[in-house]
Amino acid sequence: MTEPADTPPIDHAFTGDRRGPAQDPTYAGALSFMRRRYSKDVSGCDLVIWGVPFDLAVSNRPGTRFGPQALRRASAIFDGDAQYPSRIDPFERLSAVDYGDCLLPRGDLQGCARAIEHEAAGILASGAHLVTLGGDHFITLPLLRAHVALHGRLALVQFDAHQDTWDDGVGAISHGSFVLEAVREGLIDTERSIQIGLRTVAPRDCGIEVLDAYGAHELGVAGTVARIRERVGAGPAYLTFDIDALDPAFAPGTGTPVAGGLSSAQALGMVWGVRDLDFRGMDIVEVSPPYDHADATAIAGSAIVQHYIQGLALRKAA
The residues facing 158 across adjacent strands are 195, 240
Nearest to 135 by CA among 72, 61, 67: 67
The 10 Å CB-count burial string (b at 16+, else e) for 250-264 is: bbbbbbbbbeebbbb
Nearest to 246 by CA among 310, 281, 193, 199: 199
Which strand (E) or helix (H) includes residue 131? strand 129-134
Q: What is the largest CA-CA distance in the chain?
A: 76
The answer to whether the beta carbons of residues 208 and 169 sit under 8 Å apart is no
* SS3 annotation, 236-271: CEEEEEEHHHECCCCCCCCCCCCCCCECHHHHHHHH
| Omega of the bond leading into 236 within 30 degrees of 0 (cis) | no
pLDDT along the chain (318 residues), means of 10: 62 84 84 95 97 92 96 91 93 96 92 97 98 96 98 98 90 87 97 98 93 98 98 98 98 97 98 98 97 97 98 89
In this predicted structure, what is the pLDDT of residue 190? 98
Question: Residue 219: what residue type?
Answer: L
Question: Residue 180: what residue type?
Answer: L
Q: How big is the CA angle at 67 (ends 243 and 83), to the nearest 5 degrees?
A: 70
Q: What is the DSSP string of 16-27?
A: S-SSS-----TT
In this predicted structure, what is the pLDDT of residue 176? 82
Domain boundary assignment for the chain: 14-22+34-152+237-317
The answer to whether the beta carbons of residues 188 and 182 sit under 8 Å apart is yes
In this predicted structure, what is the pLDDT of residue 257? 96
In this predicted structure, what is the pLDDT of residue 8? 65
Residues in the annotated binding site: 137, 160, 162, 164, 242, 244
Q: Looking at the domain 14-22+34-152+237-317, which fold is it?
A: Arginase; Chain A (3.40.800)
In this predicted structure, what is the pLDDT of residue 232? 98
Integer Cα distance of 184 and 254 in angstroms: 27
In this predicted structure, what is the pLDDT of residue 203? 86
Residues in the annotated binding site for Mn(2+): 137, 160, 162, 164, 242, 244
In this predicted structure, what is the pLDDT of residue 10? 80
Integer Cα distance of 280 and 178 in angstroms: 19
